Amino acid sequence: MLEKALVGSKKYWAWITFLGVLAAIGVFNYLHQFSYGLGLTGMHRDVTWGLYIGQFTFLVGVAASAVMLVIPYYLHDYKTFGKIVILGEFLAISAVIMCMLFILSDMGQPMRVLNIFLHPSPTAMVFWDTVVLNGYLFLNLLVGWVTLGSDRKGIAPPKWIKPFIYLSIPWAISIHTVTAFLYAGIPGRHFWLSAIMAARFLASAFAGGPALLIILALIVRKVSKFDAGKEAIQAVGKIVAYAMFANVFFLGLEFFTAFYSGIPGHAQSFVYLYTGLDGHSELVSLMWTSTIFAAVSLVMLWIPAIRKNEGTLVLACIMLFASLWIDKGFGLIIGGFVPNPFEEVHAYWPTQPETLITIGIWAIGFLVLTLLYKIAITVREETAGIELEH
Amino acid sequence: MSMDRRQFLKIAGISSILGFGASVVSTAQPSLLTGLDPAQVDKNKEALLAKRWAMVVDMSKFKTDDDYKKVIDACHLTHNVPDFRNADGSVDKKFEIKWIWTAAYERAFPGQDNKYMNEHLKEMPFLVACNHCDNPPCVRVCPTKATFKLPNGITMQDEHRCIGCRFCMAACPYGSRSFNWRDPRPAIKSENKEYPTRAKGVVEKCTFCTERLAVGKLPACVEAAPKGGLIFGDLEDPNSEVRKIVTNQYTIRRKSDLGTGPGIYYIVGGSDHA
């Protein structure tokens, strides 16, 4: 089926070239970072994780969100998702690949990455995160490829694939739970030391991932004959609305505990993020942008008339995605490091090479996504009209 | 029973696959790394041994800026800690690496100050370093066991195994760990050839001078401190000076409520110790 990605229109190749150039710029900057060291980034001894780890955390959520399509379709036999589910699975694959690239980019000694397997440490959450992420990549590759291969031949997928599909459901939950555990078990980082972290992660993932999927499905419909279906997109829209409500509610719970308890350590990071602390207010406008986008998109998704109009639905999804990206891909990580263990504020802002590397990895992710979607779309276009039987 | 080579290899192969006899074979063999049998290796008779190394910092003994400077310089010069400077000569905070340094009381012990406390006490510089915790979060989170506990209580760092993920730095509640954001070697003014330098991309920190203890010397900071300023010893030994101080005097530790069990104790007041 891979050959399907090699045939396309001029627009297709222009898009591929565009992503390729961004990826090349990223790789070039990474080579510089590789030889100079991570000092090329904006990170320092007090904010030791930045944009890279933020993107990793955010994208694990995007990857996990495929389960929001897999559960209705495979577990509840919700046939409406028959066409969109493959878009979700392939999005998960590209998201996991981006996660791995961001982790590698963040390593001081990337050549030693296999030490994680040479000296496995079950007490380390990174070890488990590596295991579950690789497993999830494998599961989605297998399930996506086998089901699409069967579609191509116009037959039902083989029975042996079912256990893998069912396994991918708890597995998706596990990747984001373990990712939350990277943060939620660290003493002395009050901002992260919250029992609700994993639940919050899942809620934001199940809002942000499907929101991106709606945007992608509408783009796919524009550029090809593949239509995920109006009803399917509406159903995903409802999922986004409920998940976003849960996410905003969970964030509210964090605020309550931090400020009602009055324990300074618990409140300081929130104060830094939303109003500024000790004269530092680098993230304040970003965090309020996130807050306003969250509120507006939630209201838009809540009102049926707005949600049912695809034009306004996609606008709400873009705002929601941007809101969660700021909150989880940036604020959550930086907030954990500010103030530092000495209660001093040392700000962080990504450098230009760091930003270009980040854009480069997103470009690689979208390149993978484009190729996978191209294959899926072409297969589906060829078999259009044939009733899918899963 | 006679057995030819072929038969022996067969049995050895099968039994090692099944897990039998594998341990017998491995103990009889010399270490792959050194080629030496453990019994052949002499322990250094001079080495200082302990069940739980710990330190007491007696603040009353530190009077001048120079008292602190001597301690910090002794450590950093011994261990080839780079000294990154800005063009104007100030410390380059972006790349700064430190094993032992000073922090004001209100910074080292957040929440332990009060608004009526005089500035002198609030700003009093306390020596801070790795606390060599009983229950170190950095060790728990390290995905490669590059940081680990020694049986003598020291939290050790293997800079050759470290992958530079900096999880230990996120986990340490004391900010005791430093990362080599770039090649540190150009910033080492006078290299101590007795101690290795580090590469870029790895984490480093105080090791309680493990390498000096192994040859019977006290940590470099202890030697350089004013008399009685830094007291180093075995906390598990009831007759050691550190143990007597910790038992009989009022000492405080940084963030001990986190359950980490820090191994550095501070005497804030001015009384003579036990």
Over range A83-88, report the average pLDDT: 91
Q: Is the pLDDT of residue B1 over 80?
A: no
- For the record, the structure tokens of A237 come out as 């829209």
Over range B13-21, report the average pLDDT: 51
Q: Is the pLDDT of residue B29 over 80?
A: no
Share of chain B above pLDDT 90, in %: 76
Q: What is the pLDDT of residues B255-274, one digit of tens each?
A: 999 999 999 999 987 444 43
Q: What is the pLDDT of residues B187-246, one digit of tens each?
A: 998 999 999 999 999 999 999 999 999 999 999 999 999 999 999 999 999 999 999 999
What is the SS3 string spanning chain B? Answer: CCCCHHHHHHHHHHHHHHCCCHHHHHHHCCCCCCCCCHHHCCCCCCCCCCCCEEEEEEHHHCCCHHHHHHHHHHHHHHCCCCCCECCCCCECCCCCCCCEEEEEHHHHCCCCCCCCCCHHHHCCEEEEECCCCCCCHHHHHCCCCCEEECCCCCEEECCCCCCCCCHHHHHCCCCCCEECCCCCHHHCCCCCCCCCCCCCCCEECCCCCHHHHCCCCCCHHHHHCCCCCEEEEECCCCCCHHHHHHHHCCCECCCHHHCCCCCEEEECCCCCCC
Residue B3 confidence class, pLDDT cut points 50, 70, 90: low
Q: What is the pLDDT of residues A218-233, one digit of tens each?
A: 999 999 888 999 999 9
| Separation between Cα atoms, residue B234 and residue B230, nearest integer Å | 13
Q: Do A108 and B165 touch (CB under 8 A)?
A: yes
Q: Do B181 and A44 touch (CB under 8 A)?
A: yes
Q: Do A106 and B258 touch (CB under 8 A)?
A: no
The mean pLDDT of chain A is 93
According to the model, what pLDDT value does residue B21 have?
A: 43
Q: Is the pLDDT of residue B19 over 90?
A: no
> How many angstroms separate the Cα of A126 from the Cα of each of A170, A197, A246, B2, B65?
19, 16, 27, 52, 42
| Separation between Cα atoms, residue B54 and residue B245, nearest integer Å | 11
Q: Which is more confidently placed, A83 or B78?
A: B78
Q: What is the pLDDT of residues B48-67, one digit of tens each?
A: 999 999 999 999 999 999 99
Q: Which is more confidently placed, A56 or A152?
A: A56
Over range B152-174, report the average pLDDT: 96
Give A201: exposed, middle or buried? Use CB within 10 Å, 0-12, 13-18, 19+. buried
According to the model, what pLDDT value does residue A202 have?
A: 96
| Separation between Cα atoms, residue A226 and residue A233, nearest integer Å | 13
Q: Is the pLDDT of residue B11 over 70?
A: no
Q: How far apart are the first and last CA of chain B?
A: 69
Q: Domains along chain A?
A: 2-381 (1.20.1630.10)
Chains A, B: CB contacts within 8 A come to: 141
**Amino acid sitting at position A341:** P
For A49-63, A101-115, B31-45, which range has the lowest pLDDT when averaged over its residues? Answer: B31-45
Residue B248 confidence class, pLDDT cut points 50, 70, 90: very high
Query: Residue A48: how many CA atoms within 13 Å on its side-chain side?
Result: 27
Nearest CA to CA, how far is A27 from chain B (Å)? Answer: 19
Over range A68-91, report the average pLDDT: 91
Sheet bearing B264-267, strands edge to edge: B230-234, B53-58, B264-267
According to the model, what pLDDT value does residue B12 have?
A: 56
Q: Is the pLDDT of residue A120 over 60?
A: yes
Q: Which of B263, B257, B274 is nearest to B56 (CA)?
A: B263
According to the model, what pLDDT value does residue A225 have?
A: 87
Q: Is A114 on the interface with B (CB under 8 A)?
A: no
Which A residues 333-372 touch B at CB under 8 Å?
336-337, 340-344, 346
Q: Is B162 on the interface with A (CB under 8 A)?
A: yes
Q: Hey, what CATH class is B53-267 in?
A: alpha beta
According to the model, what pLDDT value does residue A5 have?
A: 79
Q: Do B95 and A119 touch (CB under 8 A)?
A: no
Q: Is A118 on the interface with B (CB under 8 A)?
A: yes
Q: Which residues of A touch B182 (CB under 8 A)?
A: 36-39
Rounded to a whole number of angstroms, the CA Rg of chain A reads: 21
> How many angstroms separate the Cα of B130 from the Cα of each of A345, B55, B59?
21, 11, 17
Contact call for residues A247 and A321 (beta carbons, < 8 A): no
Indicate the domain borders of chain B: 5-40, 53-267
The mean pLDDT of chain B is 88
Q: Do A107 and B145 touch (CB under 8 A)?
A: no
Q: Do B203 and A110 touch (CB under 8 A)?
A: no
According to the model, what pLDDT value does residue B126 have?
A: 96
| Separation between Cα atoms, residue A235 and residue A12, nearest integer Å | 29
Contact call for residues A340 and B110 (beta carbons, < 8 A): no
According to the model, what pLDDT value does residue B23 have?
A: 44
Q: Which residues of A touch B180 (CB under 8 A)?
A: 37, 108
What is the SS3 string spanning chain A? Answer: CHHHHHCCCHHHHHHHHHHHHHHHHHHHHHHHHHHHCHHHCCCCCCCCCCHHHHHHHHHHHHHHCCHHHHHHHHHCCCHHHHCCHHHHHHHHHHHHHHHHHHHHHHCCCHHHCCHHHHCCCCCCHHHHHHHHHHHHHHHHHHHHHHHHHHHHHCCCCCCCHHHHHHHHHHHHHHHHHHHHHHHHCCCCCCCCCCCCHHHHHHHHHHHHHHHHHHHHHHHHHHHCCCCCCHHHHHHHHHHHHHHHHHHHHHHHHHHHHHHHHCCHHHHHHHHHHHCCECCECCCHHHHHHHHHHHHHHHHHHHCHHHHHCHHHHHHHHHHHHHHHHHHHHHHHHHHHHCCCCCCCCCCCCCCHHHHHHHHHHHHHHHHHHHHHHHHHHHHHHHCCCCCCCC
Over range A84-107, report the average pLDDT: 95
According to the model, what pLDDT value does residue B20 have?
A: 47
According to the model, what pLDDT value does residue B260 have?
A: 97
Which A residues 13-42 touch B at CB under 8 Å?
36-39
The predicted complex's ipTM stands at 0.91
According to the model, what pLDDT value does residue B27 have?
A: 47
Q: Is the pLDDT of residue B17 over 60?
A: no
According to the model, what pLDDT value does residue B130 have?
A: 98
Over range A104-112, report the average pLDDT: 96
For A238-242, B4-8, B46-50, which range has the lowest pLDDT when averaged over its residues? Answer: B4-8
Q: What is the pLDDT of residues A13-60, one digit of tens each?
A: 999 999 999 999 999 999 999 999 999 999 999 999 999 999 999 999
Q: Do B95 and A39 touch (CB under 8 A)?
A: yes
Q: Residues, chain A, total?
A: 390
Over range A352-369, report the average pLDDT: 98
According to the model, what pLDDT value does residue B8 have?
A: 58
Q: What is the pLDDT of residues A250-293, one digit of tens each?
A: 999 999 999 999 999 899 999 999 999 999 999 999 999 999 99
According to the model, what pLDDT value does residue B211 have?
A: 95
According to the model, what pLDDT value does residue A258 have?
A: 95
Q: Is the pLDDT of residue B25 over 50?
A: no
Over range B30-52, report the average pLDDT: 77
Q: Which is more confidently placed, B120 or B184?
A: B184
According to the model, what pLDDT value does residue B272 have?
A: 43
